[in-house]
């Protein structure tokens, strides 16, 4: 699994309303950030997915998408 492209990162910033420098900030709102992350990750498999589709998902499903992606990226970087 490849990491986010700069275009995907820009889309996350656009949809979440947060600059990438605030992604790790515990004071920043999380719901839009998680939804935006899940959206760009899931669009790799489902190009017709809409952001509103992700907003309709349950929190557990969104969290699973993001965590599985992060785990795959970490495992990929270890094997290099």
Q: pLDDT by residue for the chain (80 residues), tens digit each?
A: 689 999 999 999 999 988 887 777 777 678 999 999 999 999 999 999 999 999 999 999 999 999 999 999 888 888 76
- 16 part of a folded domain: yes
- The span from the CA of 24 to the CA of 2, in Å, is 20
- 45 part of a folded domain: yes
pLDDT of res. 74: 87
pLDDT of res. 30: 83
**Which residues make Cβ contacts (< 8 Å) with residue 66, sequence separation at least 6?**
34, 37, 38, 41
- 1 part of a folded domain: no
- The span from the CA of 65 to the CA of 41, in Å, is 7
Q: Which domain holds residue 46?
A: 6-78
pLDDT of res. 53: 98
- The span from the CA of 72 to the CA of 67, in Å, is 9
pLDDT of res. 10: 95
- 38 part of a folded domain: yes
**What domain count does the chain have?**
1
- The span from the CA of 26 to the CA of 73, in Å, is 22
């Amino acid at each position: 699994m490849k990491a986010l492209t700069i275009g995907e990162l820009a889309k996350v910033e656009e949809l979440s309303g947060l600059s990438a420098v605030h992604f790790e900030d515990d004071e920043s709102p999380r719901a839009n950030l998680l939804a935006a992350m899940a959206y760009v990750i899931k669009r790799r498999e489902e190009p017709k997915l809409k952001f509103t589709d992700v907003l309709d998902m349950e929190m557990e499903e969104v969290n699973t998408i993001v965590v599985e992606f992060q785990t795959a990226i970490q495992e990929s970087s270890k094997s290099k």
